[in-house]
Amino acid sequence: MKELVEYIAKSIVNDPNAVSVEEETNEEGITLKLRVADDDKGRIIGKQGQIAQAMRTLLRVKAAKAQTRVRLEIM
């Protein structure tokens, strides 16, 4: 899960080195915590949250295949 978010995030921000993703698994599924440079936050979220939404949709495809749930939090 983590690698998918990491690849997308690093490919669209101005400061790829500041991108980090933390992955936690509990009984509810997987939680991904995405951190980027402050200046890149808008780029990751997108207008009306479009980009964050698109990333969540793609994560859901992967989660469905693995029969789990995934949450993406932008910190």
In angstroms, what is the minimal distance from the CB of 50 to another protein? 7
Q: Please say which residue, 54 or 75, places its beta carbon nearer to another protein.
A: 54
Amino acid identity of residue 62, one-letter, is: K
CB of 53 to another protein, least distance (A): 7
User: If you count them, how many residues does the chain have?
Assistant: 75
Name the strand (E) or helix (H) holding 61: helix 50-65
For the chain, what percentages of helix, strand and coil (3-state, to nearest 5) are there?
Answer: 55, 25, 20
Residues that bind another protein (CB under 8 A): 3-4, 7-8, 11-12, 50-51, 53-55, 57-58, 60-62, 64-65
**Minimum distance from CB of 52 to another protein (Å)?**
11
Tokens of 64: 């469905």
